[in-house]
Amino acid sequence: MDLTAALATHRLVAIVRGDDPDAALHTVLALVEEGVDLVEVSLSGKDALSVIERARHALGPDRPLGVGTVLTAEDARAAHSAGADFAVTPGLGDGIGAARELGMPVLAGVLTPTEIIAAQAMGVAALKIFPIAQSGGAAYLKALRGPFPDTPFVPVGGVDEAVARACLAAGALAVGVGSPLVGDAAEGGSITALRERARLFRTLVAEATP
């Protein structure tokens, strides 16, 4: 898949992690049903590979499905076998090279200019600025865009509605949103409330300046 193009089109990545695999699966499917087309299942959640495998079966072969918290080459290989077709990392680990060898585009976690340069040299599709809310928010993103004006940045970490709006206005390609969107749905909480939040975030990103 062309992850950079998908990020530019949809502008939102939902991050699902939880201790209830069935609830996590239902969360993934509900998000997709509400039009959140880019969803990553974090490997830090319980039985995440099983969630990915079951989600892939339910979604079919053509829907994007990501895996998050990819740290090692084995993480990338296991997630690819389970059905993930793009990878998200918290930093610059061995999982990036392995994912790319498997044909999985990577949204790689970075924070500093040095890490941005290193990630670009590794051929990643886009750069996850993490954790954005704890590192200066939209002002920090705007500062990074000075030396890196055309770099596809995706802020993640503490991205609520206000941070999402500010980062998109500051030039983010997309935003990654975890608990402010998913809430407790992946722990067995309300799917109805999840759907409402999904519609809210979809409207937010649709109204953001391209």
Whether the bond between 152 and the residue before it is cis, its omega within 30 degrees of 0, is no
Cβ atoms within 10 Å, residue 202:
19
Cα separation of 120 and 163, whole Å? Answer: 25
Task: Assess whether 187 carries a catalytic annotation.
Answer: no
Task: Assess whether 40 carries a catalytic annotation.
Answer: yes
Q: Supply the DSSP string of the chain, one letter for each residue.
A: --HHHHHHHH-EEEEE--S-HHHHHHHHHHHHHTT---EEEETTSTTHHHHHHHHHHHH-SSS--EEE---SHHHHHHHHHHT--EEE-SSS-THHHHHHHTT--EEEEE-SHHHHHHHHHTT-SEEEETTSTTTTHHHHHHHHTTT-TT--EEEBSS--HHHHHHHHHTT-S-EEESHHHHTTGGGT--HHHHHHHHHHHHHHHHHS--
- Which of 33, 34, 74, 128 is catalytic? The answer is 128
- Which of 40, 115, 196, 207 is catalytic? The answer is 40
Q: Tell me the catalytic residues.
A: 40, 128
